[in-house]
Structure 1
Amino acid sequence: MANNLLQSPTHASTIPFSRPPTPGVHPPQIGFCGLGAMGYFMARNLANSFKSQLPPLLVHNRTVAKSQKLLAELGASAVKIADSLGQLVTECDIIFTNLGNDAVVTSIYNEFAKALAQSPPTKYKIFVEMSTVYPTLAGDLDRLLSSFPHVHFVTSPIFGPPLGADKATLVIAMSGDYRSKKEVAFLLVPAVGRKVIDLGGNVEKAPTLKLIGNGMIMGMNELLAETLTLGEKSGIGQQTVYDLVKEIMPAPGLVAYGNRMVNDLFDGSVGFAIDGGIKDANHIRRLSAELNCPMPAVDNTHRGLITARAIHQAQVLAGTQQWDIIDWSSLIASSRVAAGLNPFDSKKGTCVVRED
C-alpha cells in the first residue's frame, strides 16, 4: 500500500480517508474473531486479499471446526488458527470481531481486557468491532480498552447479507479514532466491502446508523410480506407481485428477500437467523423509545418476527419443522396465517387460477 499525497477519484468515492503510511519492516499481523454466517466470508476475503503482503490471518472461533474449515479452504500460507483469545490479543496488531449478540461481544472483550492486563501492549493495537450492538455498548467497550496503553477502538458494522459478504460488496459504517479508521478502511475496501461511510470520532455513531439501516430493511420486509400475501389472496399471485417489485422497485434487498418469501427459502443456517432479527428489532425499538421517535413499521416487524418464531418453535416441538433455524424473511408467516394461509409453505392452501 503505497503512500500517496492525493487519493484517486475512485478511492475518494469509496474510502473517505487518505492512504495510511506504507507499512514498515514488519507488516501488521491481522486477527479475526467470529466465523459465523458473515464473519467466515469476511475473514476468508481478508486472508485471500493480503496473503502475499501480510502474515497469515490469525483466526479464532468458539467452535474450532469453523476455523479448521477456513484453514482447509485457504491453506497455511493464508490462515493460522489461534489457540486462545489471549493469543489473538498478544500476537495481533489489528483484531476484527464479528459476533452474534451484545452478550457475546461483552464476554469476548472482557477476555481481551484480561489478556491486555496480563501483557500490556508496547505498540499500536486496534480492535475493530463489526457486530450489530446497542450503541452504548460501543461506548462501554471504548472505555474498557482505552485504559490500556497504545490500544484503540473502532466500530465498523456492515450492511449486507451473507451473499454480500461472500462477494465483498458490503457497505461499511465506521466511527472512532481517525488514524485507526484509516488503517482499517484500506484493509476492508475492496477486500471485504465496496464503500466506507465515516461517522466521525464517537464510537456510538456507527452502531446507531447500523440500527437505523436495519430498521429500514425490517420495515421493507414487513411491507413486502403483507403485499405478497395480499397478492396471493386476491388471485393475482405472489409471483406476479414479486415480478412487479423487480420492475418498479428493484432494490437489492427487496429482490433478495422477496425471492426468499416467494420460494419459501427460510433456512436460517444460510441466511439471517430470526433470533438475530428479533435482537436487532429490540435494539431499534429501545433506541426509538429513548429518543422519543416512534417507528411503528419496526413494531409491526417485531410482531411478525415473534409470530414466525412461535409458529416454528411449535413445529419443532411437534417434530414437523423443515428447518432447524429459520431466516428472518420467514416473518411472512405472520401475514399468511392472519390471511388463512399456510405459514411456511406457499404451495399449500391456495392455488391462483387465472381467469383468461
Structure 2
Amino acid sequence: MADDVDTSLPPRPDAPILNAFVSHIETVLAKLVKAVGNGSAKSITVEGLNGLGESQLKDGDLVKKYSAKQDDDTKYKDDLNSLDSNIAQIAAKSADVSNTVTKEVTKLVSDIKEIMASVPNLTDVALPRSIELQMSAINQIDEKVDNAAKAVSTAYDALDDHAGKITDPESDHSGSAPNSIGSGNQFPAYTGSGGNRRNSTGPAGLGNSASAQPIGAGQRVTASEIYKYLLSKGFTPEQAAGILGNMQVESGFDTGAYNPGEGAIGLCQWEGGRRTNLEAFAAAQGKSVTDWHVQVDFMMHELQGTESGAYGQIKAANSAGAAAAAFDQYYERSSGEARGQRVANANSIASSMAGVAA
C-alpha cells in the first residue's frame, strides 16, 4: 500500500516560516506517493505477453471465419504480438518511473529531516537571526527537491522517448499497430535558465512533455508589443515590465520556446496540466498555440482564475523589480535561482519602455 511510505515530517513550532514550508511539502509528498504507489510497482514483461495475441486466434469464430485467409491471420497475429512487445516495454519503464518517484521521495524525506534537525532551537534566538537560519534551511530543502525532480524527470523522459519510438518510422522494431502511442512535439529546443518547478497534472505530478498534436514553429514577438498589450489589460508600466523580465528569462520572447527536460513551452514555459490547458485554450479559439496573443490571453485567463493569488501579488507591486519577483515566486514558481536576473531584466525594460504608450 502507498501508505507504507512515510512522508511525515517533524513539526518545528519554534520555526514558523520553516514549519509552514515543510508542512506544505509534507502534504504534497503524501499526495504524490498516493498517486504513484509505494515503490513496489511490477513490470509487465515481454515474455509474459508473448503469444497472447496468437492465443486469441486458436479457437472459435475467428479461425473458422477466416480459415481461407491464413496470410491475413498470420499478419494479424504478428501485429498483435508486436503491439504486446512494445506495450510491455512501456509498462516496464512506467514501473521504473513509479519506483523512482517513491525512492526519491523516501530519500527526500530523510534529507529534509536531517536539514531540519540541523537548525538549532530558535525559541530564544533574535528575530533577524531566526529568519536567516530558517531561510537557509529552506534553501537547502529547495535544492534537495530540485535534485529529486531532476531524477524523476530523467526516468520519465526515458519512458516518453520509448513511447515516441513506437510510431517513429525510423525506429528499429518489427511490426506495427494502428493508432499507436507517440508524441508529435515540434517545438524547437530551448535551453533557458528559468528552472521552473510548477505544479502540474502530468505523470507523478511532473511536467508532461507529450503533446496531443504537432505544433509549428513559434513567433518572435518584441517586448514593446507585449508591453503595450499588458498595459491595455490593466497592468501598470512597472507591473508589465516585471512580467516581461520573467518572459525574457523563460523564453527570450519566443512563443515556440521549448524545454525538453520539462516539456515546457511558450513565453512563460507552461508545462504539465498548465500546458494542456494552454493547448485547449488555443484550440477553443481556433488559433495556433504559438500565437503570442493567445499565450498572453491564456496568462491573463490563469491570473484571473486559477492563479488569482499570483495576480493579487503582482497587482500589489509598485516597482518593476517587485513585480518581477512576485511573478516569479507566485506565477512561475521557479527555483528562484534566476530571480536576480528577472529583476534586472524588468528594471532595464521599465527604463527602455518609459516613453511607450499603450
User: How high is the TM-score relative to the length of structure 1?
Assistant: 0.26
More strand by share: 1
TM-score, normalization by structure 2:
0.26
Higher relative contact order (CA 8 A, sep 6+): 2
